[in-house]
Amino acid sequence: METTGLIVVGRKYSVPRLLKRLLQMGAAIGLSCAVLFVIIVSNGMLAGRQPSLQAGVNLWLAFIKRPEIQLTAVITAIVTVFFIYWQRNQERRVGGSSRAQG
């Protein structure tokens, strides 16, 4: 099984490549949910019928629990992580061949 380095809190761990990609996808989903939380809660506090923190949190929970929203977040994370790895491989391939010729 092919392993790769994963840096967590300044320490490097050797983990399987699939685990690293799954962790990256989970982090992307978590960060997206956090950004949506800030946007929806602040909007609810400023412009909602009941301008309170609890109303904003309830609105965010109702939004984030919808299965189509969850599926969209997962698909976006998967596509983004695989695109970044594909792009990095393309840059290495093109960069490596031009250095060898030059």
Residue 72 in any domain: the answer is yes
pLDDT in tens, 31-87: 999 999 999 888 877 876 767 888 888 889 999 999 999 999 999 999 999 999 889
Dihedral of CA atoms 83, 87, 88, 90 in degrees, nearest 10, equals 140
Pairwise CA distance, residues 51 & 41, whole Å: 10
In a domain, 94, yes or no: yes
Residue 20 carries which side chain, given as an amino acid letter? K
Q: What is the pLDDT of residue 97?
A: 56
- Reported pTM: 0.75
Residue 89 placed within a domain: yes
Would you state the pLDDT for residue 96? Answer: 64
Cβ pair 77, 84 in contact under 8 A: no
Q: Whole domain around residue 32: which residue ranges?
A: 26-101
Residue 7 lies in a domain: no
Number of domains in the chain: 1
Q: What is the pLDDT of residue 33?
A: 94
Label residue 28 by pLDDT band (50, 70, 90).
Answer: very high
